[in-house]
Amino acid sequence: MGGIEALAGLIPVHLYLQKMASHTNFRAATLSDTHSLRSILSQDHHKGTQPHPCAISQMSEAFKRKVKGTVMEID
């Protein structure tokens, strides 16, 4: 697999996935203050928006530990 990637001029898949994950975090940091995703994130990221009823800031600590996903990683 690595030889095919090298011949095609591609970076290894695991490095590409790490790059994509870091870009996602940067994009979330540059959202506008009124973007709807901000209402789902924790209190630190609200920037004046009203929290959604299912927002991370409304979750209990035990529930936060169980939930996995991109939004939790961004937060």
- Residue ranges per structural domain of the chain: 1-30, 33-75
Torsion of CA 51, 52, 54, 56, to 10 degrees: -30
Q: With bands split at pLDDT 50, 70 and 90, how would you rate the model's confidence at 16?
A: confident
Q: Which amino acid is at 65?
A: R
More confident call, 6 vs 57 = 57
Residue 3 structure tokens: 């030889």
pTM of the model: 0.49
Output the pLDDT for position 7: 66
pLDDT at 20 over 80: yes
